[in-house]
Amino acid sequence: NAGVTQTPKFRVLKTGQSMTLLCAQDMNHEYMYWYRQDPGMGLRLIHYSVGEGTTAKGEVPDGYNVSRLKKQNFLLGLESAAPSQTSVYFCASSYSSLAGINEQFFGPGTRLTVL
Partner 1 sequence: GENVEQHPSTLSVQEGDSAVIKCTYSDSASNYFPWYKQELGKRPQLIIDIRSNVGEKKDQRIAVTLNKTAKHFSLHITETQPEDSAVYFCAASGSTDSWGKLQFGAGTQVVVTP
Q: How far is CA 47 from CA 11, 14, 72, 98, 99, in A?
A: 20, 23, 16, 25, 24
Rule CB under 8 A: say whether 102 interacts with partner 1: yes
Residue 92 half-sphere exposure toward CB, CA atoms < 13 A:
20
Give the number of residues in contact with partner 1, rule: CB under 8 A. Answer: 26
Rule CB under 8 A: say whether 28 interacts with partner 1: no
Which of these ranges, 13-21, 66-74, 79-87, 98-106, lies near partner 1 under the rule CB under 8 A? 98-106
DSSP 8-class letter at 85: G
Residues that bind partner 1 (CB under 8 A): 31, 33, 40-45, 48, 50, 56, 58, 90, 94-96, 99-104, 106-109
